[in-house]
Structure 1
Amino acid sequence: MTPRKRTTMEPSTRVTRSSTRTVKPTIPPPKSPLKKKAKKSTDISKEKKVNFSSSVLDGSKKKTIIVEYCKQCNAFKTRALFVKDGLEKGMDGAVNVVLNPEKPRRGCFEIREDGENGEKFITLLDMKRPFKPMKDLVMDEVVSDILDKIKG
């Protein structure tokens, strides 16, 4: 037998997925706060320069040394960290060493003093693999030379 047709709309006792959707009131999702645009890297680097160059220790200005190293290879990072540790231990906190305050250049390993007239201790630019000029450096001697130049 075929089911008989309903003449009036009677509520159905059968529960389906679609019927539960229509019964429940729709609640709009909570409004998320508008996302702010990220600052450009140049804006951030300018802020960082202001922050670390104005640091003071016991009423005298700390010297700020910038170590810029390429992020292409881990050899740059290990040497940069070695220089940072050596300078901070050698000067007993009288020097502030900053690693890559701005986006680094490719194939670059440079150690310099902060400021317009800052002295450049080591400058190795546009190195190609296997980075022979950097790997030939004896890092203990580099750190001791920089310490001598800073103290003297």
Structure 2
Amino acid sequence: MAPKRKRTEADTAKPIQTSTRVTRSATRRLNGSTSAASEAPAKLPKTKKKAKASSKGKTKVEVEDVKAEEASDASKTIVIEHCKQCSSFRKRADQVKDALKKDLSGITVLVNPEKPRRGCFEIREEGGDTFISLLDMKRPFGPMKALDMDKVISDIVDKIK
């Protein structure tokens, strides 16, 4: 270890200059605009748009416009949640969606409005009954493939009417 250097008069005579850090909050405090910056902006209603199909042919989450749901409170909303692990889930979900829109007028069908669970195929009424619920299925997804989709669709239409 090297010995410490003795301080001389020249070293002590110079004032030590420190830099101050300028942040956005420090600038706001100096300008006196703390009250305007701390106020939260007014919340606007969120609108979700339909997702476009990606270049690989896979369909992203399809969500109807939120304003349309608010305008038609009398109509029922059906949620179809399907896993993205296999295309057979999507094929069955699309089949149910098309049949429900064709058979029932004034109905809103949402496909995967939130991130779906793995190995899940579920059809339910928003805030109400669950028509079919197949959860935690493992490959080759036997319970879902054994479904008679025409019978499932007709049962759902009967329950809604």
SS in 2 for 1:77: helix
Q: 2-side partners of 1:128 and 1:136: how far apart?
A: 14
Shift of 1:55: 3.8
Q: 2-side partners of 1:55 and 1:124: how far apart?
A: 32
Between Structure 1 and Structure 2, how many residues are aligned? 100
Which structure has the bigger radius of gyration?
1
The one-letter amino acid of 2:145's match is: K
Q: 1-side partners of 2:106 and 2:154: how far apart?
A: 15
The alignment yields a C-alpha RMSD, in angstroms, of 1.9
Shift of 1:106: 0.1
Q: 1-side partners of 2:71 and 2:157: how far apart?
A: 20
SS in 2 for 1:104: coil
Q: 2-side partners of 1:119 and 1:64: how far apart?
A: 11
Give 2:122's aligned residue. Answer: 110
Percent identical residues: 59
1:2-151 correspondence to structure 2 within 5 Å: 51=66, 53-56=69-72, 61-91=74-104, 93-115=105-127, 118-151=128-161
Q: 1-side partners of 2:123 and 2:91: how far apart?
A: 14
Greater relative contact order (Cα 8 A, min sep 6): structure 1 or 2?
1
Q: 2-side partners of 1:86 and 1:65: how far apart?
A: 12
Change (3 A) 1:123 1:61: same
Change (3 A) 1:135 1:108: same
Q: 5+ residue gaps in structure 1?
A: 1-45
Change (3 A) 1:137 1:105: same
Change (3 A) 1:94 1:77: same
Q: 2-side partners of 1:96 and 1:53: how far apart?
A: 8
SS in 2 for 1:54: helix
The alignment's TM-score, normalised by the length of structure 2, stands at 0.58
